[in-house]
């Protein structure tokens, strides 16, 4: 099976702009989670989607949003970018049922200037 794919891999944006990141989960996985990784804060949970519904949300401002499509692909959006949003954004997919392990994609490196 193909792994989790994320596009784009690298992105440079300017403060105030908005950005959309995309994630395609492993085939058959219906849960998609997003994480932000920074040197200062480490890995932090953003949100999780399952069957097109947000099931859980981390402690991030409303500028961070996401959605999931009927084919389980997910997007996350960050509006009004700030310098502190520069990070590696990781997407993970998980099978349904009692399998709680998450499989991560390679990430999108976002740089805000």
CA angle (72 as vertex; 69, 16 as ends), nearest 5: 55
* Residue number with CB closer to other proteins (90 or 110): 90
- Nearest distance, CB of residue 102 and other proteins, angstroms: 6
**Structure tokens belonging to residue 29:** 């996985």
Rounded to whole angstroms, the Cα distance separating 1 from 76 reads: 24
User: Regarding beta strands 19-24 and 31-38, do their DSSP bridges make them parallel or antiparallel, or are they unpaired?
Assistant: unpaired
- Nearest distance, CB of residue 94 and other proteins, angstroms: 5
Which residues would be at the binding site for other proteins (CB under 8 A)? 4, 31, 33, 35, 42-43, 45, 48, 50, 55-56, 58, 90, 92, 94, 98, 100-107, 109
């Amino acid at each position: 099976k193909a792994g989790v794919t994320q596009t784009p891999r690298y992105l440079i944006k300017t403060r105030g702009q908005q950005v959309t990141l995309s994630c395609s989960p492993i085939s058959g996985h219906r849960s998609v989670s997003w994480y932000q990784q920074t040197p200062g804060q480490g890995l932090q949970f953003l949100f999780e989607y399952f069957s097109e519904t947000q099931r859980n949300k981390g402690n991030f401002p409303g500028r961070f949003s996401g959605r999931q499509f009927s084919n389980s692909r997910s997007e996350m959006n960050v509006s009004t970018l700030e310098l502190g949003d520069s990070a590696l954004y990781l997407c993970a997919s998980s099978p349904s049922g009692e399998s709680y392990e998450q499989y991560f994609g390679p990430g999108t490196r976002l740089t805000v200037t």
